[in-house]
Structure 1
Amino acid sequence: MKKQISALAALVILFASCLKVTEQAPTDSATGDPTRSANTQTTVNAVNTTVTTESALKTAIANAKAGDIITISGTIRLTSTLQLLNSGTSGSKINFTGGTLDCSGISSGWGVKCNGSYWNITNMTIRNAPDCGLVLQHGGYNYIYNVTTTGNDDSGIQIYNSSHHNYVLSCKSNENYDAANGGENADGFACKLSGGASNKFESCTANHNSDDGWDLYGQPYSVTITKCTATNHGYGSNGDGNGFKLGSAGQNVPHTVTNCVANNNKAWGYDGNGNTGHITITGSTASGNGKGSFTRIY
Structure 2
Amino acid sequence: MTAAISCQKDNNNPLLQREIPTEAAVSAAATSVTVTTEAALKTAIANAAPGDIITISGTIRLTSTLQCLKSGTSSAKINFTGGTLDCSGISSGWGVKVNGSYWNITNMVIKNAPDCGLVFQYGGYNYVYNVTTSGNGDSGLQIYNESHDNNISYCKSNDNYDAANNGENADGFACKLSAGKNNKFDHCTANHNSDDGWDLYGQPYTVTITNCTATNNGFGGNGDGNGFKLGSSGQNVPHTVTNCTSSYNLASGYDGNGNTGHITTTGSTGTGNGKTLFYRIY
What TM-score comes out, normalization by structure 1 length? 0.88
Cα 1:17/1:158, change in 2 over 3 Å: closer
d(CA) in 2 for partners of 1:154, 1:41:
41
Distance change (3 Å), C-alpha of 1:296 and 1:75? same
Please give the alpha-carbon distance, in whole angstroms, between the structure 2 residues aligned to 1:19 and 1:60.
29
Secondary structure of the corresponding residue to residue 28 of structure 2: coil
Of 19, 25, 33, the residue aligned with 1:49 is 33
Measure how far apart 1:44 and its partner are: 2.3
Q: In 1, distance between residues paired with 2:126 and 2:60? A: 23
The number of residue pairs the alignment matches comes to 270
- Superposed, which structure 2 residues align to 1:244-263 within 5 Å? 244-263=228-247
Between Structure 1 and Structure 2, whose CA radius of gyration is higher? 1
Question: What are the equivalent positions in structure 2 for 1:98-137 lying under 5 Å apart?
Answer: 98-137=82-121
Letter in 2 for 1:142: N
Alignment of 1:30-49 (within 5 A): 43-49=27-33
Structure 1, unpaired ranges of 5+? 1-12, 23-38
- Alpha-carbon separation, structure 2, partners of 1:155 and 1:206: 11
| Distance in structure 2 (CA, Å) of the matches to 1:81 and 1:112 | 6
CA distance in 1 between partners of 2:21 and 2:229 (Å): 48
Give the superposition deviation at 1:85.
0.1
Q: Secondary structure at the match of 1:43?
A: helix
> Could you report, residue by residue, the CA deviation over 1:243-294 in whole angstroms, capped at 9, with x for unpaired residues?
0000000000110000000000000000000000010010010110000100
Q: Which amino acid letter does the alignment assign opposite residue 16 of structure 1?
A: L
Q: Using the alignment, how far apart are the partners of 2:209 and 2:75 within structure 1?
A: 26
Per-residue deviation at 1:18? 2.6
Aligned pairs for 1:196-207 within 5 A: 196-207=180-191
Cα distance per residue 1:68-96 (max 9 Å; x no partner): 00000000000000000000000000000
Partners of 1:88 and 1:17 in 2: CA distance: 21
Once the two structures are superposed, residues 199-258 of structure 1 have per-residue CA deviations (whole angstroms, 9 ceiling, x without a partner) of: 000000000000000000000000000000000010121000000000000000110000
Distance 1:213 1:14 in 2: 53
Cα separation, 2, equivalents of 1:42 and 1:133:
31
| 1:70 equivalent in structure 2 | 54
User: In the alignment, is residue 209 of structure 1 matched against residue 193 of structure 2?
Assistant: yes
CA separation in 2, counterparts of 1:126 and 1:158? 13
Correspondence list, 1:120-199, <5 A: 120-199=104-183
Structure-1 separation of matches of 2:25 and 2:163: 45
Distance 1:259 1:14, change over 3 A: closer
Matched, 1:279 2:263: yes
CA-atom RMSD in angstroms: 1.6
CA distance, structure 2, for counterparts of residue 44 and residue 196 of structure 1: 32
- Equivalent residues of 2:236, 2:260 under 8 A apart: yes
1:238 to 215, 222, 243: 222
Is there any run of 5+ residues in structure 2 with no aligned partner, and where?
Answer: 1-12
Letter in 2 for 1:86: K
Change (3 A) 1:272 1:45: same
Matched-pair contact (CA < 8 Å) for 2:126–2:150? yes
Could you tell me how far apart the structure 1 residues matched to 2:162 and 2:14 are? 61
State the identity %. 76
Counting only pairs closer than 5 Å after superposition, residues 56-95 of structure 1 correspond to structure 2 as 56-95=40-79
Distance across 2 between alignment mates of 1:112 and 1:208: 21
